[in-house]
Chains A and B, each alone.
Chain A
Amino acid sequence: MKRQIPVLLVFVFGVFMIFQYFSPHEYSEWIYKFLMDWIYIIGIFAMALGIWSLIHVSYDKIKNKRHDWGYSVVTLAALFIMMFFGITGFDENGEWGFYFMTQEGLTNPMFRNFFNHILVPIETTMFSLLAFFISSAAYRAFRARNVLATMLLVSALVVMLRFNPYFGEAVGLYMNKIAAWLLNVPNMAAKRAILIGIGLGMVGTALKVVLGIERGYMGKG
């Protein structure tokens, strides 16, 4: 009962959605839209579960005064402050208040400032930080030990150096052409093979899930 009903649900909904794709009937379209709305709503509740989990873990860390618990205070404070600004704001008459059903919170200056001056700088810098780690990993990994490694090294170098202003106009032009050819031809072929492989792999895995062969989503118990 605890495991059979979920497998049956996956099978029924999965098979229905596969056949629905090939049916242009009005009712089929309506049910498709209806079910897509349903999973969107269920997905939102799942996201809420994730946020609750973050609160729970942080609170637990603070309560038990675990290592670096002070940083969990920062996380919780930031979370609640952001949520507070997101549901409060000023209406068209300039009156402040809580707005749960309308979107005044999204235009709240503090909500925008938190987004523009905290979230964006940190996330952008975290991604830019990867430039250093990728370069250092490449320095260690990219050794021209054999033909394959040399091909990897050369194509990466050409793509990276193509906009280098020190090459001069003539060399720069050729570098650009070679880099464009590398990106549009061998890279395209490699990407195409990988994409076809990924697509077939996803279909295979999805079929295993629908047919009940793969049941990892149920967890233990």
Chain B
Amino acid sequence: MEFGTFLWTTLGAVLTLAIFSFLYKDNPFYKFAEHLVVGVSAGYWAVILWHNGLVPNLLERLRDGDWYLGWLNSSKPWYLIPAILGLLMWTRFSKKYSWISRWPISMYIGIATGVAIPLEMSNRVNKQLYAAMSKIHWDNFFGHGFLDTAAAYSEIIIIIGTIAGLIYFFFSKAHTGAFGTIAKIGIYILMIGFGASFGLTVMARISLFIQRIQFMHEDWAVVAFEETNPNYGWFQFFFWLVGFIIIAYIARELYVYIKNRDKQMVKPS
């Protein structure tokens, strides 16, 4: 590994440790990493929105040739309208004129909600209803063994579970009698679903944790101890520098803890 790459990897390792240090308590290393990521992330999105958003969708359309000031001579001058509307959003900073910012916002909301209504019905509600009403394969009931039989009932369980789940969320009628029984089946199905989703989420986070540990071990610690590397001395220096900072911080925390404990033990005269 090259020297520069190792330095960047060390920075990644330090920031990983800084974030993990939050498991102990909120501390200066964590706060530093937290504020750093806010700045870097905002900067990253500003650049991406400029290069992939504003330039191709507005500026490129407005400029004909290379003469930028000739925007009004552009073949698509109507793109100045969303630009002006976008700029009107900045009136939010003025107490007197902040009401003007409602115009672009309401236009945005109007278009977005208008698009969402048919799309939500088509892509979410109708698609799910269509899938729920698919044909039941009755021949599956003649399987062998417990799991095969369970699988055969699956299609029926999905239909009943979906209807029962929807009924559980219907609060305009009291959950009593037959309606209440179906709602109860619904909550059982929902609980199993929530449990399974929770399990999947935990496993996804554990996978990320394993990946971070692998990064710290294979990409950083193992490389730092490769004696054949021409920069071995420098790699060792940076590795132990990080180690020293961690040990110094732990020692400081211990010192503060012991000092506070001794103070509490001293009885007031």
Contacts and interface: CB of A to CB of B under 8 A. Distances in A.
Interface in A121-178: 121-132, 134-135, 138, 147-149, 151-160, 163, 174, 177-178
Interface of B: 8-9, 11-13, 15-16, 19-20, 22-23, 31-51, 53-55, 57-60, 79, 81-83, 85-87, 89-90, 92, 98-99, 102-121, 124-125, 128-129, 131-132, 147, 150-151, 154, 157-166, 168-169, 186-203, 205-206, 208-209, 211-212, 215
Contact of B114 (A17, A149, A217, A219): A17
Interface of A: 2-3, 5-7, 9-18, 20-22, 35-52, 54, 68, 71-72, 74-83, 86-87, 100-101, 103, 105-106, 111, 113-132, 134-135, 138, 147-149, 151-160, 163, 174, 177-179, 181-200, 202-203, 206-207, 209-210, 217-219, 221
Nearest to B195: A155
Contact of A177 (B111, B128, B147, B189): B147
Contacts of A154: 195
Among B39, B55, B82, the most chain A Cβ lie within 10 Å of the Cβ of B39
Contacts of A105: 47, 51
Specify the main secondary structure of chain A where it touches its partner.
helix
9 contacts: A7-B106, A18-B114, A42-B107, A48-B86, A122-B19, A134-B205, A181-B147, A193-B163, A206-B116
Contacts of B120: 199, 202-203, 206
Contacts of B151: 181
Contacts of A126: 19, 37
A74 B115 CA distance: 40
A129 B19 contact: yes
Given A2-B99, A54-B38, A185-B157, A22 B118 contact: yes
A116 B5 CA distance: 11
A221 B107 contact: no
Contact of A131 (B114, B162, B209): B209
Given A22-B118, A125-B16, A46 B209 contact: no
B219 to A, nearest CB: 10
Contacts of A113: 8
Given A13-B107, A78-B43, A118 B195 contact: no
A41 B83 contact: yes
B168 to A, nearest CB: 8
A203 B121 contact: yes
A121 B188 CA distance: 39
A27 to B, nearest CB: 15
